């Protein structure tokens, strides 16, 4: 299972071109859904209005060199290490899920487009990274869902209470979990493999097709918001604002932080 490209094995029953077309459609759904989300929720308008307001209220200009430095700091601190999370458990769960998702998606695309059939031997590292990425998603995601969520830990709601904001994390967990089950069943030539392949594709389609209604697009908005905050601090426009109060430790983040992923 961990040494075999499951998509190459699948090419015996589904043409590689169909699998590649599916991946392209999923990418298009993410792009289209994000653009729709930006227009519908006016996220871009809010960002640029806030940027202009920050610039006009700034006490000092921010040069090009400093702007690049702030962008690098944002990428390294908020992006790479997710330092915005105060709670260490929440941060670790987020990092496991984020890096697992990246490994899972990138290796999927690489195997589907680069090694679509057994005739083109797949480097062993790719299916291994694919499985490890899916496992990381499951560990980080289920840990967050069952034990770390604010509405469960601090507000006493049931672990199984589901709201629309949970669509992203639940569809992501379903996709990763079903992917592993399908790959295992395929490797063992189980009669159930086609059923779980269908469930895997359904969950993945929901994951990438529900961008306008889920929190998927937040992964693109958060770095932009973090960068704008750093620029505002650098030009002094935030200097007259009170410092944000820290939330109680059991909330797992700053006051006002959303209850879900």
Domain for residue 250, yes or no? Answer: no
The values of phi and psi at residue 11, to 5°, are -65, -15
Q: How far apart are CA 32 and CA 51, in angstroms?
A: 24
pLDDT higher than 80, residue 156: no
Question: What is the pLDDT at residue 62?
Answer: 62
Residue 151's contacts (CB-CB under 8 Å, 6 or more residues apart) are 157, 161, 259, 260
What is the DSSP code string of 133-192?
HHHHHHHHHHHIIIII-HHHHTT---TT---GGGHHHHHHHHHHHHHHHHHHHHHTT-TT
Burial class (CB in 10 A: 0-12, 13-18, 19+), 247: middle
What DSSP state is assigned to residue 80? I
257 in a structural domain: no
Residue 259, pLDDT above cutoff 60: no
Q: Taking 90 as the threshold, does the pLDDT of residue 56 lie above it?
A: no
Residue 185 forms part of a structural domain: yes
Q: Is residue 108's pLDDT more than 90?
A: yes
**Quick one: average pLDDT of 80-84?**
64
Domain that holds residue 136: 6-240
245 within domain boundaries: no
- More confident position, 225 or 139: 139
145 within a domain of the structure (yes/no): yes
Q: How many domains does the chain have?
A: 1
Express each pLDDT in 112-126 by its tens digit.
Answer: 999 999 999 999 999
């Amino acid at each position: 299972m961990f040494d075999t490209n499951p998509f190459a094995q699948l090419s015996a029953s589904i043409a590689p071109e169909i699998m590649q077309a599916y991946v392209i459609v999923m990418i298009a759904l993410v792009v289209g859904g994000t653009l729709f989300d930006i227009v519908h929720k006016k996220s871009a308008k809010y960002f640029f209005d806030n940027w202009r307001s920050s610039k006009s209220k700034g006490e000092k200009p921010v040069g090009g060199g400093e702007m690049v430095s702030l962008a690098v700091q944002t990428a390294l601190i908020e992006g790479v290490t997710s330092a915005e999370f105060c709670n260490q458990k929440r941060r670790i769960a987020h990092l496991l899920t984020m890096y697992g998702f990246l490994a899972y998606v990138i290796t999927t695309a690489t195997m589907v487009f680069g090694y679509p059939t057994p005739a083109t031997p797949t480097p062993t590292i790719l299916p291994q990274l694919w499985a490890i990425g899916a496992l990381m998603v499951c560990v980080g995601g289920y840990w967050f869902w069952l034990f770390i969520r604010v509405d469960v830990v601090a507000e006493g709601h049931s672990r199984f209470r589901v709201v629309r904001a949970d669509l992203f994390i639940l569809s992501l967990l379903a996709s990763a979990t079903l992917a592993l089950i399908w790959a295992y069943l395929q490797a063992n030539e189980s009669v159930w493999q086609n059923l779980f392949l269908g469930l895997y594709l359904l969950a993945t389609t929901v994951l990438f097709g529900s961008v306008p209604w889920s929190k998927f697009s937040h992964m693109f908005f958060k770095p932009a918001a973090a960068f704008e905050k750093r620029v505002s601090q650098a030009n002094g426009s935030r200097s007259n604002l009170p410092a944000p109060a820290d939330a109680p430790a059991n909330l797992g983040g700053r006051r006002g932080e959303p209850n879900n992923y």
